[in-house]
Amino acid sequence: MQTRDLVGKLKEFLVFTISRSGGLLFIYASILQFIWAVLILINPVALLVTPLLGLTQLVGVNHISVASILFISNGLAFYFLVIKRLTSSHFFLLIPQQCILLLSAFGSLQAVILGHYADGVSRPSIFILADQLPNILIALLYTVAVLGWFNTQRNGI
């Protein structure tokens, strides 16, 4: 078997597996962002966590605004999960949560590149990468799950 065929088969397997288990990724992302929003409302210092760096750079450090965005994105994603008859146009309900996860991943990557967390604590980049890898991976896996789900809906698979 050629390398290209092997890579193609691996890609098909990953897309199929992730898109089929996408509901779990959507639930995980919703729980994560809901907890972030609650923690921000309890104590605005939670805005300083590295995964929220990208979002706070985009909308500012107003804790009410950031928590509201997280709650709204969760509400849309939750609505997606409870709709009985999904159509391919419903995938737009996941886009806000997707954007927040990507911003989170970019904030984590920024910390890795700069060698310090959002709150200024310096650490070796490899340490930060190991610590922030779940934020980066969830954004990538969520993207694959959304695209896989959309492709499944569109093609009737």
Decide if 38 contacts 47 (C-beta within 8 A): no
Question: In the block, which residue shows the tokens 């695209």?
Answer: 147
3-state secondary structure of 123: coil
pLDDT tens per residue, range 100-121: 999 999 999 999 999 999 999 9
Check: pTM over 0.85? Answer yes or no.
Answer: no
pLDDT tens per residue, range 30-82: 999 999 999 999 999 999 999 998 899 899 889 999 999 999 999 998 888 88
Q: Which pair of structure tokens corresponds to residue 119?
A: 């709150």
Residues 6+ apart with CB under 8 A from 14: 144
